[in-house]
Amino acid sequence: MSRLTPAQAAARWLAQEDLDRSPQREQFAAWLEESEENRQAWAQAHRVWGVLDDADENDLIAALTRAARRAGPEPAARSPRPWLIAASIGALTVSAALLVGIREEWPGRRPSPVQVAAGAAPSLYAIGRADYVTGAGQKSIVDLPDGTRLTLDSDTAVDVAFANGRRDIRLLKGQAFFDVAHDRQRPFAVQAAERVITALGTQFDVKLDAEGMRVVLAEGSVSVGMAQGRTGAPPVKLKPGEAYSAQKNAAGKVARTDLNAALAWRQGVVEFHDQPLSEAIRLLNRYTRAQIVIKDPKVAALRITGVFKTGDIKRFGRSVSEVLPVRMMARDANTYELVSTRR
């Protein structure tokens, strides 16, 4: 949690389901000992559950209450005033942050498989049309014949071709996480636009959209180079925790990244760190048929930090309106607009 502010880290510790077990218990104790700021942030966060006790329908509130009760004695004082809810949650984070529906992949916890309809082409042995596809709001886990597991995000399509001693995949659009079965005799390669990611046995995430592509390495090692027939920079080798990003026809860049944030989509959440509201909306819209629009440039430029559940536009609208000067208005059955509340 070293990349988080004390307030953000405290909120995550509250959402931890097994804080009373090893190794989480020891990790939490070490975090408390790191600084006085951490201890103050925890004390503040720990008090929040008392004013949220009657709001079990909210995922975050329920998580905060359960974890806080496990972590220590019940506070002596309690306030039932509803108006404190938004203020108390807002105090947990900075830059108008609100954590909703936290489902982090903490150490020792594996995500539950999400089975959704995914169409398979007749053959997995030739490059052609997409073999596996997810629609808006869908995710799918696919086990390939070699033991590799793919986790497909919303609105994603991949083409699989296992032939001639190779394991080739094309990411046609969207985002996918690859847990690659080790096989030195058969290289595993993922092509995304003009780049190719090559691995033996490793875990990495690839995202492809209109702005370009990004590779995040979670475990092992991969190299990222230009696709066959393309000219450009020599291949780049990534280390765990690094991300490679490239826009169309531009040189790629390597930087350290927050794996929790980059891979949060696998748990049904998205995480933002001081990002423009317009950017957050663009990502959230991938997960629902209904769409959020922003017409006011000042609203689009507002910045947001937090972890939000995907697939529920109305919940997001309620949450963001508690910490930013905006409200969400229905324009038609499938369109909602975020508008300013400032006069």
Domains in the chain: ranges and CATH: 6-92 (no CATH), 132-261 (2.60.120.1440), 268-340 (3.55.50.30)
pLDDT band at 58 (very low <50, low <70, confident <90, very high): very low
Largest CA distance in the chain: 70
Which residue would you say has higher pLDDT here, 341 or 200? 341
pLDDT band at 36 (very low <50, low <70, confident <90, very high): confident
The pLDDT of residue 185 is 86
pLDDT tens string 205-243: 999 988 899 999 999 999 999 887 677 678 899 999 999
Taken as a whole, the chain contains a residue count of: 343
Query: Over 60: is that where the pLDDT of 100 sits?
Result: no
Query: Over 60: is that where the pLDDT of 67 sits?
Result: no
Query: Over 50: is that where the pLDDT of 92 sits?
Result: no
Q: Where do the H-state alpha helices sit in the chain? A: 6-15, 24-34, 36-51, 59-71, 83-92, 259-262, 277-284, 297-301, 313-323
Q: Are 148 and 188 in contact (CB under 8 A)?
A: yes
- d(CA 59, CA 311) in angstroms, rounded, equals 14
Residues 6 or more apart whose CB falls under 8 angstroms from that of 319 comprise 98, 100, 308
Kindly state the average pLDDT of the residues 267-285.
90
pLDDT band at 16 (very low <50, low <70, confident <90, very high): low
Rg over alpha carbons for the chain, rounded to the nearest Å, is 22
pLDDT tens string 131-168: 899 988 888 999 998 899 999 999 999 999 888 888 99
The pLDDT of residue 171 is 95
DSSP letter (8 states) at residue 206: E
Residues 6 or more apart whose CB falls under 8 angstroms from that of 223 comprise 197, 198, 199, 235, 236, 237, 238
pLDDT band at 18 (very low <50, low <70, confident <90, very high): low
Residues 6 or more apart whose CB falls under 8 angstroms from that of 229 comprise none
